[in-house]
Chains A and B, each alone.
Chain A
Amino acid sequence: RKEVEQDPGPFNVPEGATVAFNCTYSNSASQSFFWYRQDCRKEPKLLMSVYSSGNEDGRFTAQLNRASQYISLLIRDSKLSDSATYLCVSYTGRRALTFGSGTRLQVQP
């Protein structure tokens, strides 16, 4: 079983829609979580960290549920420019970061 699992998608949504991705992690020792964004054929870039209390950055909201071992990312009012692959990432304190394989989002006009 992969340490971090994501639905690969693609999620096809119209502009202005709200879309949510979930990610599950198997290692209960995971300490920190992040969402990275990766555009087609480009390098990953940090989108936001995920805090236990949940956090919001503009149209993006990240939540952590330790009891069920999942992380979520909510995108409100989707823009065409949000089209990308979203990588769920965990850190166990053992060996750098563990990346999920990503969820692809396609926002359509």
Chain B
Amino acid sequence: NAGVTQTPKFQVLKTGQSMTLQCAQDMNHNSMYWYRQDPGMGLRLIYYSASEGTTDKGEVPNGYNVSRLNKREFSLRLESAAPSQTSVYFCASSEVFSGGSTDTQYFGPGTRLTVL
């Protein structure tokens, strides 16, 4: 039982390049999330998928797209990377999208992305 896995762990891009961050969970969770974490800013929600087949914008969606490929997988795409997208990206999943006190979010190990 691996929990939430992310690939790659590290990536360096040049401005204007594109890439897709992959996320998969094996806990049969319905909801999945993408966050970015910058120094002094905390975790900010980029996009989320409350259930398979749905996606919604979070706090900072500009410059990103997502795909909920199936119940297990949720990918994040940068179409034209910019230096402002240098960050640590975390994927998370939860059993349901309720925010209730029992609705724990489980995070992947993160992808450290640098855009030059």
Q: Interface stretch among B12-20, B70-78, B99-107? A: B99-107
**A44, B45: Cβ atoms closer than 8 Å:** no
Encode B45-61 as 1/0 by CB contact (under 8 A) with A: 10010000000101100
Chain A CB within 10 A, most for which of B35, B101, B109: B101
Neighbouring A residues of B109 by C-beta, 8 Å: 42-43
Please determine whether B43 and A99 come into contact, CB atoms closer than 8 angstroms: yes
Chain B residues with CB under 8 Å of A92's CB are 99
Neighbouring B residues of A96 by C-beta, 8 Å? 33, 45, 48, 58, 97, 99
Tell me the A residues contacting B by CB distance below 8 Å. 2, 4, 8, 31-32, 34, 41-46, 49, 51, 87, 91-93, 95-102
Contacts A51-B101, A97-B99 known; list 5 others, CB within 8 Å.
A43-B109, A49-B102, A99-B42, A99-B44, A101-B41
B residues bordering A, Cβ < 8 Å?
33, 35, 40-45, 48, 56, 58-59, 90, 97, 99-102, 104-105, 107-110
